[in-house]
Structure 1
Amino acid sequence: MKKVLKITGIILLIPLTVGLIIFFFFPGILINQTNASYARAANLEQKTLMVDGYNVHYYENAASEKPVLVMLHGMGDDKSSFLQTAAYLSNHFRLILPDLAGHGDNEKKLGLDYSIGGQATFLKSFLKAKGMEHFSLIGNSMGGHTAAAYAIKYKQDVDHLILLNAPGIVLDEHVVYTGFGEKIKNKAELKTVLNRVFYQAPDLPGPIANYMIEQVNNSKEFVDGTLIPAIKNGPYFNLKEEVVNISSPTLVLWGKHDEVVKFNVAEFYRDHIPNATLQLLDKAAHSPQLEVPQEVAEAVVNFVLK
């Protein structure tokens, strides 16, 4: 009997041991597994599509009879950004969550146009290849900037537009796109960065924090050397004179504690897009889809479907 209990104990310890090894030595696997669980909860499947010789990675659910909602992540982020929000939306929409050009699993290919206008053109080509002619569009941060540019450039495509803490309006000489700056050296410096982005920054365990530091530092050269110059020097950087041409009903959805994009940008969008409303999210900052995913989803459903 003791031998059976001993063997049983060993068997029970194996997954715990494996879990600890993954946690301490391979945190990327743990993060990927977490994202996979979020994707399953939203009934999303990872897919790829070759568009003009460029392989585009994206999530999509199978709700082909539902209205289409395209969800765009921010700069340096990827298609997993909206996974938690998607879990509350998958029963209402056909969801498409693409990696934008040079982001996520998409190649950081030299010679691509990584400006906001270029991202809008990339998105148009991808959605055309998918056979998408009409859809609603939500974007956070740079994804929101891209969504606004798309609604200006291809206004006939967009049924509803949701701008989630989106830059794109230059006011008071405040520039959002400043790059990653110096490499992050330790967990304390990472926490300072997170405090700027989140209303309540998560207290990350050491292995996860170290993994995130490595990911950010590895992205620094591409973000600072390629993305930022392309955005600041490219078309649709400042939409101040053009948002009046957005014809889609627009929801400016805003985490009220955002320290990245000033609130007067939200007010400008509300006041200058002809059919726009502004809604604040109280316990959120620059990335509400990560902090209050259910509230973001409820706002989207109420705006698009009611």
Structure 2
Amino acid sequence: MIILGLLAIAIAIAYWHSYPRFGHWLYHSGNNLEAKLYGFKRAIVSIEGIDHVYWHNGKSNKPALLLIHGFSASHAVWLRFARYFNNDYFVIIPDLAGHGETGFEQQWDYSIESQAQRMAALLHCLGCSSAHIVGNSMGGFIAAHMGRYYSNMCNSITLIDPAGVSSPEPSKMLQMLQSGRNPFVMNSDKEFYEFYNMVMARPPFAPKVVTDALSQTYQARSQELAKIFNDYNRQHNYLEAELSEIGCPALVIWGAQDQLIHVSSANVWQQGLQCTVHIWYDLGHMPMMEAPERTAFAVKNHIFTTQRS
């Protein structure tokens, strides 16, 4: 009995120590498998001395579609959405500087201006004179900045729950920031799951071993994320006064249950851009993950309308 008890303890200890590694392996293996199934290949291009990792479908003879993820995310948030564009577009999905496999360095500049400049350089490096650009959250801020300052490269922009303007009504995240707490900077699993539940109203299924691994990653990166957040979230760079100067067709999509950026911000974008806005009351901050097919259909229709006009 003593031997069996010791064996059980040894197995439990081995499982506990392998549990986080298995979660990380499962997360990355799942993303890599999805990318492969949907026809996306991993590549690297050097921009401003930073080796940017990106995924693409190799169809450089098609119109370019650039997908820009949000703060603390990676290319993985776009995969299920991007597959709906595979036949007709040269799909490009980068990991921004500070994110995913592109990595983080303390001395890099993570401002919206720098990230937008890198995305313009990425298109140039890939031989794309212009692209349809879709961005979520911080990625939407970058896409809008490109629409303002690189309008000749933007055939259209789609902004999904974008950052970049002052919200008329405070979101839960804004209230937390005003109280001195950034929900992206966390030190416990409890804080991670509070954050995770804020991000999506209809999250895709993920095993707990995977979300626990994500929690571990966020906690380990707390200081890096604080640096990136402080670099990009500068209110004096917000665009509400410049929205009318964005020189390309725009679409705004918003999940009304968004707890990170309040849906009232959609009115600011609509009035400034004079554009179509879709507000979906069953979704949160990441419609392209919560309802990828519906979101892809809306973006396709926007691009099609743009091409006809």
> Shorter chain as normaliser: what TM range?
0.7 to 0.9
Q: Is residue 2:213 matched to residue 1:211?
A: yes
Amino acid at match of 2:163: P
Q: Return the offset for 1:23.
A: 6.9
Equivalent residues of 2:192, 2:218 under 8 A apart: no
SS of the equivalent of 1:230 reads helix
Alignment of 1:48-127 (within 5 A): 48-127=44-123
Moved more, 46-55 or 227-236: 227-236
Equivalent residues of 1:57, 1:105 under 8 A apart: yes
SS of the equivalent of 1:59 reads strand
1: CA distance, partners of 2:280 / 2:70: 18
Note closer, same or farther for the CA distance 1:302–1:218 as it changes in structure 2 (3 Å cut). Answer: same
Q: Return the offset for 1:41.
A: 2.9
1: CA distance, partners of 2:134 / 2:184: 28
Alignment of 1:146-295 (within 5 A): 146-172=142-168, 174=170, 178=177, 179-180=182-183, 183-186=186-189, 188-201=190-203, 204-224=206-226, 226-233=227-234, 236=237, 238-274=238-274, 276-295=275-294
Percent same amino acid at aligned positions?
Answer: 24
Equivalent residues of 2:50, 2:97 under 8 A apart: no
Equivalent residues of 2:203, 2:290 under 8 A apart: no
Equivalent residues of 1:115, 1:235 under 8 A apart: no
2: CA distance, partners of 1:30 / 1:218: 18
SS of the equivalent of 2:266 reads helix
Number of residues of Structure 1 aligned to a counterpart in Structure 2: 282
2: CA distance, partners of 1:66 / 1:100: 23
Note closer, same or farther for the CA distance 1:23–1:90 as it changes in structure 2 (3 Å cut). Answer: farther
Q: What CA deviation, in whole Å up to 9, does each residue of 1:64-122 have, x standing for no partner?
A: 23211100000011111101101112112110001111111113123322111111112
Equivalent residues of 2:167, 2:265 under 8 A apart: yes
Residue segments in structure 2 that go unaligned for 5+ positions in a row: 1-16
1: CA distance, partners of 2:41 / 2:126: 15
2: CA distance, partners of 1:165 / 1:45: 27
Q: Is residue 2:35 matched to residue 1:35?
A: no
Equivalent residues of 2:23, 2:209 under 8 A apart: yes
Q: Is residue 2:134 matched to residue 1:138?
A: yes
SS of the equivalent of 2:85 reads coil
Amino acid at match of 1:218: A
Note closer, same or farther for the CA distance 1:140–1:266 as it changes in structure 2 (3 Å cut). Answer: same
Give the alignment's Cα RMSD to 1 decimal: 2.3
Note closer, same or farther for the CA distance 1:53–1:204 as it changes in structure 2 (3 Å cut). Answer: closer
TM-score, normalised by the number of residues in structure 2:
0.84
Partner of 1:7: none
Note closer, same or farther for the CA distance 1:233–1:167 as it changes in structure 2 (3 Å cut). Answer: closer
Residue segments in structure 1 that go unaligned for 5+ positions in a row: 1-20
SS of the equivalent of 1:101 reads coil
Note closer, same or farther for the CA distance 1:268–1:159 as it changes in structure 2 (3 Å cut). Answer: same
1: CA distance, partners of 2:248 / 2:282: 28
Equivalent residues of 2:186, 2:192 under 8 A apart: no
1: CA distance, partners of 2:208 / 2:299: 35
Amino acid at match of 1:39: A
TM-score, normalised by the number of residues in structure 1:
0.85
